[in-house]
Structure formats: structure tokens, C-alpha cells
Amino acid sequence: MGVENSQPGKAAIVNYELDLTEEEAERGTSRVLPRNGKRLQVTIPAGMKTGNTVKLTNALQVTDGQAGDILIQIRVKSGEEATATAAPAGVLVITDATFPVEVLGAELPVVVDFWAPWCGPCRAMSPMVEECAKLYAGRFKFCKINVDENPQMASQYQAMSIPMLLFFNNGRVVDKSVGAIPLAQLRMKMDELPV
């Protein structure tokens, strides 16, 4: 998620990357940045371009209890690029409103990917989730939920660190994985799930 740079005697700096759609970059947007079990509201001003940086002065005091800044590197994605990273093939994009039907009421076991577009490890997990969606088609249902846009489910399932995969069977959580994991480890989890 964040890359930390610190030197003894100096305030820490944590770097994040944030992908914005062209529309978000033009009009500005607001995002929630989960860090160390805290949720930091971030306002991205209008007129952002790829390469711009948003500095959150002394934000680490709030999230880490120490002096330091968070620097957010902006990347603006075209409409096609933004759509491509939003939902991989075979993975259903869900919301707070559709979660009960698509996940809790599903006939198949469900894997839910809690993610955010600014999260580098989330983007790294996306191809692995897509690969598993192909490999386990007909045996599992795969869903993806943006924690920034769907705070109700993110809060209910305590998605404070992302990427977070929750594995559901008959409407109940049967396993959980937090952080980016290799494809082999994800497949092992899938094969071991009680279905």
C-alpha cells in the first residue's frame, strides 16, 4: 500500500499511489485511506494530472502516532484504462446495496476482493483473482468491492488493510486473507475451502 522512507532524527514520509479517472482528476474527489486500523479522509483537489503529488502534512500523527507526512502520487487513467482495472474478467463488481444478494444469497461459495484503486498491492492481486475466476468458474463466484465507494460493507467486515479477500460459504465467512499473496497460495486457499 504505502512505501515508507525514514531516517533517524527525521520525520517519516510514506508514499502512496492513487489512480484517478479523468473525470475525478478534472473535478476533484475524496477518498478514504485506511492505514494502521485508521481511516483517513483525503480530499484530492480539482485539476490533477499524472505525476502531481498531494501532500498530507503530518498525517502520520493521526494514523501512526508519530510525526510524518503522507505523499500521494497521482496517476490519471483514461476511461478504458480505468475500466480495465476496475473489474477483471469473470469478477463481478458489487456495492453495499448488492452485497446481500450477490454474496450472502449466492448458491456458490463466494470470494470477495475488498480493494481500492489507489492501492498498489490491490492492483497486483487483480490478475491473480481473475486467473482464479477462470480456473474455478462454476465452482466459485468472484466479486470485487471498492472500499472507498462502499464504506458500509468495508466497515462491517473490518476491511482496514487491503487487499483483503473474504471467502464465503452459505452466507458465512469461512476464511480470510489480508495483503497481496502469490497465485499458488491463493489457489491453495481455494482448494482447502470447505464447500
Q: How far apart are CA 97 and CA 150, in angstroms?
A: 9
Task: Report which DSSP code applies to 13.
Answer: E
* Residue type (1 letter), 185: Q
Q: How far apart are CA 26 and CA 65, in angstroms?
A: 33
132 flagged as catalytic: no
Give every CB contact of residue 165 below 8 A, 6+ residues apart in sequence: 111, 112, 113, 114, 125, 129, 176, 177, 178, 186, 189
Q: Is 59 in a helix, a strand, or coil?
A: coil
Mode of pairing for the β-strands spanning 12-21 and 92-93: unpaired
CB 32 within 8 A of CB 39: yes
Catalytic residue among 76, 111, 112, 122: 122
Catalytic residue among 74, 119, 147, 154: 119
Q: How far apart are CA 67 and CA 138, in angstroms?
A: 50
Give the bridge partners for 20, in sequence order: 76
Q: Which residues are catalytic?
A: 119, 122
